[in-house]
Structure 1
């Protein structure tokens, strides 16, 4: 006998709502040369690694890869820190992890603010119920050891947080000596290395840095999605001595260590393909060598700086504090900076960033990071500034109409 209706044990479902159903072609993105503040273009070898067939996040081969990634991150940061891992999340996740694991409610955190990302550190620290104290410098300057020591003496914080490579200003904060001050005043040193790791000299152990974080999409030549994190012994001891649980389960390093440590206990489903990519990015960095990578970034930055000045453009950061990875160029008077960067993107496929916060509308931000730090990219951009920018200067339209 044929059944004429669905069996009674199957649920009766309502009609499917197709209002949001789209009929799309396969994704097709244009090629862009990303010379803004990030992300930068990933190395082709890294992209090939991302496309490999996934394996399980507890597969013995993946566990072996985890160890390789950790060891190569230690090389990139010049540290022996045991707790050095890539957080499953962007650089902001690693940023938050440094604070979530070490702040207890009511503790004083001193944030040295000299740009947009110092403000973000202060915001995050406050969300973990720290007593946040800030000291500030104009967006284009760095802190002296004397200024930092005076603040440590006055406020006696548990943590001093400072940005090494301030992406909003193009300023590279000198770090030598700050770790010694933090030990003198019994506090931890937390360092943002988002726009410096892999491209600018960093010596976590030599500088006595207790906590550091970065991202995958800048100097490491990998797409965004992972947040390198490193915790030194002093910070680890503070975390283990805390009175309550870390108030962020996903970023709790005491739990993550059981997965990334020798136990390899399941914590979350790691983004295995992103770690394939990071492994290759770090392998390529080790193959080039840190000193060679640092020198390459410096050489190409100096090529850009000299070229911009030849064109009569003014650089925002003083030369002795300039980042090799991120250059801030002051927008000439009367020029619509956003219109020019839109033109570069839409007509030439090149991304250049605008200013943030106090520098919004005042500077362009040009990134030369990782795979993108190449002389041919510098020359291409300089040629476009020379040939295209005059049309955006005051009076250009009138001059064109007169001709």
Structure 2
């Protein structure tokens, strides 16, 4: 009992200090959030309460307005779970039994979509590339000569490497062939300017704990309204039925079908307000871009080589670096040293390379990048 009392006291003291973080998460999400985003989670909410459901409706409206200058074409659906749950919800709800999807795969998250589609017994064509290569548009055109393909999916920012796929160019080809266009913008929406109507995206998928800078617990899908109607009765899952989730929110003014992550939803609303206060997506993109450019320059000055070359589109979200050519280099030692200095970085995910990743998104500023570079320099010199 005494240990429990001591733990409670420690927690209360941490709140008294302003909910300070022990370290910055330099990852592509979960990411470091503001103290105000964390603070609003200290209130409990009832999922049936009109005030809470009105909050959900406001979030849905704000997301659509963030996404496009033509909001009347789209609606937003919130879905419990991580971003991958939302991806699987779209794949399992949007593609009819006789449908067929082309998935462009040049990283771990494209590969995950392929895995999901196969698990759901969806007829899938995989167009695969090495993790450091952007898709060839001519390959996509050739693949779409198969008239039985009904849907096409691609990851926008592939955080395996930090590569940014050319969704505008791909989308032109997809829509010229009159296919349904699905974009996993998990790590880019809210941090990279885009208009999903101009890009002719039918389904865009993202998550609360990415560039909008909320906390993990739900994802969201921005969908053309006619595509939502076409999903009725197609779902391969009860919990991940995209149409039923949307229809319930529409008919019951923000009510989720099943228990929603209420604290996470309230934190996300606060994060949306803070995005607006920062100056919107364009301002946030500029901050992320400055973070990434300074990080890249500083790391190269310290002897680290970037995985993506200068000809490959590098996102402002996360950057991947090769291990230095030193026999005694240890990523784990670097990781632990940086954690003690107040930073958490990511291990690499490229199949055949020894590498690690550093994210630039979240409540992270140029001063934080400078402090990180100083910490790495001190580690290198020790």
Per the normalisation by structure 2, the TM-score is 0.88
Q: 1:261 pairs with 232, 250, 253, which one? A: 250
The residue that corresponds to 1:379 in the other structure is: 370
The residue that corresponds to 1:86 in the other structure is: 78
Structure 1 pair 169–22 and aligned structure 2 pair: CA distance change class (3 A): farther
Tell me, in whole angstroms, the C-alpha distance in 2 between the residues paired with 1:97 and 1:316. Answer: 32
The residue that corresponds to 2:337 in the other structure is: 343
Tell me, in whole angstroms, the C-alpha distance in 2 between the residues paired with 1:256 and 1:299. Answer: 38
Deviation, 1:336, is 2.1
Residue 287 in structure 1 maps to residue 281 in structure 2: no
Deviation, 1:239, is 1.2
Instruction: Check the 8 A contact 1:109/1:131 in 2, yes or no.
Output: yes
Tell me, in whole angstroms, the C-alpha distance in 1 between the residues paired with 2:155 and 2:50. Answer: 37
After superposition, residues 71-220 of structure 1 pair within 5 angstroms as 71-78=61-68, 80=71, 81-154=73-146, 156-220=148-212
Tell me, in whole angstroms, the C-alpha distance in 1 between the residues paired with 2:2 and 2:322. Answer: 43
Deviation, 1:155, is 6.6
CA distances 1:192-225 after superposition (whole Å, capped 9, x unpaired): 1111121112221110111111111121111111
- Name which of structure 1's ranges 375-384 and 313-322 shifts more when overlaid on structure 2: 313-322
Tell me, in whole angstroms, the C-alpha distance in 1 between the residues paired with 2:313 and 2:184. Answer: 16
Deviation, 1:147, is 2.6
For these two proteins, the number of residue pairs brought into alignment is: 364
Tell me, in whole angstroms, the C-alpha distance in 2 between the residues paired with 1:63 and 1:139. Answer: 42
Tell me, in whole angstroms, the C-alpha distance in 1 between the residues paired with 2:147 and 2:335. Answer: 43
Deviation, 1:375, is 0.3
Tell me, in whole angstroms, the C-alpha distance in 1 between the residues paired with 2:83 and 2:56. Answer: 18
Structure 1 pair 258–378 and aligned structure 2 pair: CA distance change class (3 A): same
Instruction: Check the 8 A contact 2:102/2:124 in 1, yes or no.
Output: yes
Deviation, 1:85, is 2.4
Structure 1 pair 60–364 and aligned structure 2 pair: CA distance change class (3 A): same
CA distances 1:63-110 after superposition (whole Å, capped 9, x unpaired): 221121012211332262543122121111111111111123353211
The runs of 5 or more residues in structure 2 that have no matched partner are 12-20
Tell me, in whole angstroms, the C-alpha distance in 2 between the residues paired with 1:176 and 1:234. Answer: 21
Structure 1 pair 156–381 and aligned structure 2 pair: CA distance change class (3 A): farther
User: Greater Rg, structure 1 or structure 2?
Assistant: 1
CA distances 1:19-73 after superposition (whole Å, capped 9, x unpaired): xx99655276871211123211112111111112x23222221122112101221
Instruction: Check the 8 A contact 2:208/2:268 in 1, yes or no.
Output: yes
Instruction: Check the 8 A contact 1:166/1:172 in 2, yes or no.
Output: yes
Structure 1 pair 317–357 and aligned structure 2 pair: CA distance change class (3 A): closer
Q: Please tell me the root mean square deviation across aligned C-alpha atoms, in Å.
A: 2.3
Residue 39 in structure 1 maps to residue 30 in structure 2: yes
Instruction: Check the 8 A contact 1:46/1:277 in 2, yes or no.
Output: yes
The residue that corresponds to 1:68 in the other structure is: 58
Instruction: Check the 8 A contact 1:178/1:207 in 2, yes or no.
Output: no
